[in-house]
Amino acid sequence: DAGVIQSPRHEVTEMGQEVTLRCKPISGHNSLFWYRQTMMRGLELLIYFNNNVPIDDSGMPEDRFSAKMPNASFSTLKIQPSEPRDSAVYFCASSFGSSGGTDTQYFGPGTRLTVL
Amino acid sequence: RKEVEQDPGPFNVPEGATVAFNCTYSNSASQSFFWYRQDCRKEPKLLMSVYSSGNEDGRFTAQLNRASQYISLLIRDSKLSDSATYLCVVNDNNDMRFGAGTRLTVKP
């Protein structure tokens, strides 16, 4: 069974450009999470969805960040406009359950974003 | 104060050594606890959940002390392949909080 799939794996862009990160959760999982990891701040939860509905977006840093989950098998995280401080590895994770946080989360390989 | 704190290490130990990591958390109402492992430039993967009674999985033992609000991970007979960063994770009101991780290097 395929794990969580993320694309692209690497993205290099210039400041001010729009960036879209994509995630396909594990089939049958009903919770999806977006995380950001940097050396300075570690792994931070940005937003999570349960049954395609955003439950907690308090970790989204600012209005430049938006996330959608149009169906159970696809989610996007968009940054518009991007800034150099957005450079990080962005992980998507999914789990099965209704609690959102207590079930085992399976992480995708991440997207390494560099904003010049 | 950080919500989840870990000693960043690095811990450099010889093969066969026993090594222990601790993690403290600030929210006494936290509900569940985990240890994740992250290899260099890879994604975090669940190592084990941590139960109140303590639990063991082969060479790995996890313990939880709710009164003192800390979690521990003990690795016995360490292998070269145990080299990784170990992340302490606390579920805080349906919000997974990750520690910054403790880096372990096992040397021959």
In sequence order, what are the residues at sequence separation of 6 or more whose Cβ sits closer than 8 angstroms to the Cβ of residue A49? A31, A32, A33, A55, A67, A69, A75
Longest dimension (CA), chain A: 39
Among A36, A32, A40, A4, which Cα is nearest to A101's? A32
Contacts of B96 in chain A (CB under 8 A): 33, 45, 101, 105
Q: Is the pLDDT of residue B105 over 70?
A: yes
pLDDT digits (tens, 9 = 90+) for A56-115: 888 898 899 999 999 999 999 999 999 999 999 999 999 887 655 557 889 999 999 999
Question: Best of A105, A106, A112, A113 to disrupt the B interface by mutation (most B CBs within 10 Å)?
Answer: A105
CA dist., res. A31 & res. A35, Å (int): 13
pLDDT tens readout for residues B16-68 = 999 999 999 998 888 889 999 999 999 999 999 998 888 999 999 999 999 99
CB neighbour class for B70 (10 Å; exposed up to 12, middle 13-18, buried from 19): middle
Q: Does B1 have pLDDT greater than 60?
A: no
| For residues A40-61, average pLDDT | 90
Task: Give bridge partners of residue B20 from the DSSP assignment.
Answer: B74
Encode burial over A85-100: b for 16+ CB neighbours within 10 A, e otherwise: ebbbbbbbbbbeeeeb
Is residue B4 within 8 Å of residue B88, measured between CB atoms? yes
| Structural contact between residues A1 and A27, judged by C-beta atoms closer than 8 angstroms | yes
**Which residue from A56, A91, A110 is facing B95, i.e. has the nearest CB?**
A56
| Closest in B42, B43, B91 to A102, CB measured | B91
Strand order in the sheet with A65-71: A5-7, A19-24, A74-79, A65-71
Residues of B in contact with A23 (CB under 8 A): none
Give B101's contacts in chain A (Cβ within 8 Å).
42
- CA–CA distances in Å: residue A20 to residues A10, A79, A90, B13: 12, 7, 11, 42
Task: Kindly indicate the confidence band of residue B94, based on its pLDDT and cuts at 50, 70 and 90.
Answer: low
β-strand partners of B85: B38, B103
Contact B101 A101 (CB under 8 A): no
- Chain A partners within 8 Å of B100 (Cβ): 42
Q: Per the CB < 8 Å rule, is B87 touching A43?
A: yes
Is residue A100 within 8 angstroms of chain B, CB to CB? yes
**Cis bond leading into A61, ω under 30°?**
no
Tell me whether residues A105 and B99 touch, CB distance under 8 A: no
Out of A1-5, A24-28, B20-24, which region has the weakest mean confidence (pLDDT)? A1-5
Kindly list the residues from chain A whose CB atom is less than 8 angstroms away from the CB atom of residue B25. none
